[in-house]
Amino acid sequence: MALLVQKFGGTSVGSVERIQAVAQRIAASREQGHDLVIVVSAMGHTTDELTALARALCPEPPQREMDMLLATGEQVSIALLAMALHSIGVPAVSMTGPQVGIVTESAHGRARILEVRTERLRKRLEEGQVVVVAGFQGTSSGSAGTPEITTLGRGGSDTSAVALAAALGADACEIYTDVPGVLTTDPRQVSDAQLMEEVSCNEMLELASLGAAVLHPRAVEIARNYGVPPVGRPRRSDAPRPRLTSGMPPPIG
């Protein structure tokens, strides 16, 4: 039994069917006895679509309002995934970045995480709930005023996952990448082609040192600084190593 942080990107939660598939996967992990914190991104291209809407109305939207807008994308995903889990009998609760205690700098649109206050999260885990957390968002501390919703920069859900894993002392942080073709999958372990290879924190650091654009750079930075523990499950030695392929998207974040 372990405490796992699992992150699912926008493609993984991009439709009803995919959310159901993610829920099934979470249920399977839970049946193995793990405590689970799930971090999700906004569905599909939601963040891009919201950005386009903003630009259609205002060429240079205020960053505060952009954060108000973009944070809604992840909020949709967490509520829907929690509902999908409920419908298959898995007790789950969704939490926004502010609710989960991700405290950031006040710089809108590119806020760095300062602290993760885990009490509320731990309490839910102790109750046996799966906690579904909105990635990419937090709250400024409010020490210099009112707390505000902040976002961590594009691709920032990875950072949320790694920061939560570090703060909780999780046994593993598993990032299920959105980007098909970036990592090899093991067809013996992964039957659904949409389901990407799991990446352990060790592998993340390895990929980062290769200059991979797989992960949000701050996720890697936090993993380094806090020494996020490597994945608890050893990889099979005959399993293919994650590797970069051509056709990589340009770096994000």
The residues binding ligand ASP (CB under 6 A) are 9-10, 41-42, 47, 73, 135-136, 154-157
When asked if residue 155 is in the footprint of Mg ion (CB under 5 A), the reply is yes
**Structural contact between residues 219 and 251, judged by C-beta atoms closer than 8 angstroms:** no
- Comparison of 10 and 98: residue with beta carbon closer to Mg ion: 10
Of residues 10 and 229, the one with the C-beta less far from ligand ASP: 10
- Per partner kind, with CB cut-offs from 5 to 8 A, the member of Mg ion, ligand ASP, none near residue 154 is ligand ASP
* Paired residues of 131 in beta bridges: 37, 93
Residue whose CB is less far from Mg ion, 98 or 155: 155
The smaller minimum CB distance to ligand ASP, of residues 51 and 239, is found at: 51
Binding site partner of 47, from Mg ion, ligand ASP, none, Cβ cut-off 5-8 A by kind: ligand ASP
- Tokens of residue 127, six digits: 């109750």
Stretch that binds Mg ion, among 51-59, 147-155, 192-200, 236-244 (CB under 5 A): 147-155
Interface residues toward Mg ion, by CB under 5 A: 9, 155
